[in-house]
Amino acid sequence: MRSIQVLKGNVVYAQKRTELTCVENGYIVTKNGVIEGVFKVLPGEYRGVRVEDYGDKLIIPSFCDMHLHAPQFAMLGMGMDLELIEWLNKYTFKTEARFADTAYARRVYRMFADALIKKGTTRVAVYSSVHRESTHVLMEELERAGVTGYVGKVNMDRNCSDDTRETTEESLLETRRFLEECKGRYKHLTPILTPRFTPSCSNELMAGLGKLQREYGVRVQSHLSENRQEVEWVKALHPDSEYYYETYEKYGLWIENTIMAHCVYSGERERAAMKEAGVVVAHCPDSNMNIASGFAPVRRMLEEGLNVVLGTDIAGGALLSMRDSATSAVRTSKIRWLLSDKKEDFLTVAEAFYLATSAGQAYFGAGPGFQAGDALHALVLDDSRLPETRPLTLEERLERLMYFSSDDTIAARYSEGELR
Ligand code: GUN
Ligand code: FE
């Protein structure tokens, strides 16, 4: 019976994008950390099992941050008066170069992993730097803290700084070695191929990564159509490609479950290609505002049936909490709504909550919200110290807790069924 765990509280989750499921004073039963079910009344077979009673608190799925750069945690809040390319050259590459030093990496990644858990993020798709050894340091620290997901060693063999540039051969050899070393080494972390973006990867490197993808069957993450200057640059680098996405497609990197961050300037054709291939869009609204990239057409993407998830894009984004990413997505969509003469609907808070939880969960093979058979990833939210008001519905309380995103409203965190 020790493997059975029962949590009691107000269970709130999103089974569909447009609808919240609320189970007042409900129960989540897990066995060996895996969800057995969500119940209004505790089934008789669990009688006598100790209940972890969270009283009037909310229990929600923990958050999935589907695009962020771990080394950039060290430069969070810097260079925000620059646009992408200058920001990379003046701040980012300099910061990432320091991760050649594994002791420095240990210090920063320990703080980073602890901060993620504190903010309620238990699943990620994260970039490291070009350094293989420090990427393992990142994975060790994530695993220690209880953060699960995909981790990529970055590939760059051109258009970066001298101290971050790899030779093409070195980049491919180090990536192969990284993939080999990850075999059986981590419980809940998986390597993912991470060509930084087309400008920083030669055609030869892209082709080599495509080969590695086929050999190892690994997933891929990169950046796409984030900034106007970047899009023009890619056109100049690949005169044979009409669209940015083709620069990934021609090397076999535009495949099912490839995560493409931003997609602010992805037009109809590029978006159709995403749908066709099963490419996932990581929308990073706070980053898109900070480095003034633009406003991604998320409402359109959703209506077209694209798979959209959310990311903080630390440190283009400066907000580590996925609650802030979700509300930023709502705010950004309202700018598009206003600019479209109120024709392009904005996102509701419930939709943004779905994107920050269930949509991300799907990438890890989990069902939406709390589904039987999935490992428990959950947060217990406490609004008892927020200002008193009239009695609120669970929907209203969730909305307030999404906007009121201070850490002390998270009372407990579960990752892979374990209290963290
Ligand atoms: N494109 C290529 N590299 C990066 C990065 O580190 N951050 C963002 N926002 N965009 C990129
Ligand atoms: Fe990014």
Residue nearest to atom 3 of ligand 1 (CA): 196
Out of 127, 164, 197, mutate this one to test ligand 1's pocket (max ligand atoms within 8 Å of CB): namely: 197
What's residue 223's pLDDT? 99
- Could you report the per-residue pLDDT of 130-183, keeping only the tens digit for each? 999 999 999 999 999 999 999 999 999 999 999 999 999 999 999 999 999 999
The alpha carbon dihedral of 264, 268, 270, 273 has a sign of: positive
Q: Residue 404 — left, alpha, or beta (φ > 0 → left; ψ -120 to 50 → alpha)?
A: beta
CATH number of the structural domain 4-61+367-419: 2.30.40.10
Structure confidence at residue 1 (pLDDT)? 46
> Residue 419 C-alpha to ligand 2 middle, in angstroms?
30
Q: Which residues are placed with Cβ below 5 angstroms of ligand 2, an ion? A: 261, 313
Predicted local distance difference test score (pLDDT) of residue 2 = 58
Q: Which residues contact 81 (CB under 8 A, 6 or more apart)?
A: none
47: number of Cβ within 10 Å: 7
Distance 84 CA to ligand 1 centre (A): 7
Residue of 87, 88, 157 to mutate, ligand 1, most atoms within 8 A of C-beta? 88
Two tokens at 39?
A: 């119940």
Query: In the prediction, which pLDDT does 221 show?
Result: 99
Q: Which residue has the least CA distance to atom 7 on ligand 1? A: 316
CATH no. of 63-356: 3.20.20.140
Atom index in ligand 1 nearest the CA of residue 92 equals 6
Q: What is the DSSP letter of 95?
A: H
- Could you tell which of 65, 92, 224 is best to mutate to test the pocket of ligand 1, judged by most ligand atoms within 8 Å of the CB? 92
pLDDT digits (tens, 9 = 90+) for 3-34: 999 999 999 999 999 999 999 999 999 999 99
Write out residues with Cβ below 6 Å of ligand 1: 69, 84, 88, 92, 196-197, 223, 226, 287, 313, 316
Ligand 1 mutation target, pool 93, 223, 229, 237, most atoms within 8 A of CB: 223
What pLDDT does residue 344 have? 97
Which ligand minimizes its atom distance to the CA of 156? 1
Indicate which ligand has the atom closest to the C-alpha of 95: 1
User: Which residue CA neighbors atom 8 of ligand 1 most closely?
Assistant: 316
Listed in sequence order, the residues at least 6 apart from 375 whose beta carbon sits closer than 8 Å to its beta carbon are 33, 34, 35, 366, 416, 417
Length of the chain: 420
Ligand nearest to the CA of 264: 1
What's the pLDDT score for residue 123? 98
What is the number of the ligand closest to the CA of 290? Answer: 1
**For residues 216-224, average pLDDT:** 99
Segment holding 177, helix H or strand E: helix 168-182
**What CA–CA distances, in Å, run from 355 to 67, 170, 264?**
13, 37, 17
- Output the CA 84–ligand 2 centroid distance in Å: 10
CA distance 178 to 101: 17
pTM, full prediction: 0.98
Q: How far apart are CA 310 and CA 64, in angstroms?
A: 8
Q: What confidence score (pLDDT) does residue 46 get?
A: 96
- pLDDT tens, residue by residue, 264-317: 999 999 999 999 999 999 999 999 999 999 999 999 999 999 999 999 999 999
Handedness of CA 56, 57, 58, 59 (dihedral sign): negative
In this prediction, residue 365 carries a pLDDT of 98
User: Would you call 357 exposed, middle or buried from its count of C-beta atoms within 10 A (0-12, 13-18, 19+)?
Assistant: buried
CA of residue 69 to ligand 2 center, whole Å: 6
**Contact, 135 vs 76, CB < 8 A?**
no
Domain ranges of the chain: 4-61+367-419, 63-356
Give the mean model confidence (pLDDT) for residues 354-366. 98
Candidates 168, 229, 170; CA nearest to 200 is 168
Mean pLDDT of the chain: 98
Centre of ligand 2 from the C-alpha of residue 12, in Å: 30
Given a cut of 50, whether residue 225 has pLDDT beyond it is yes
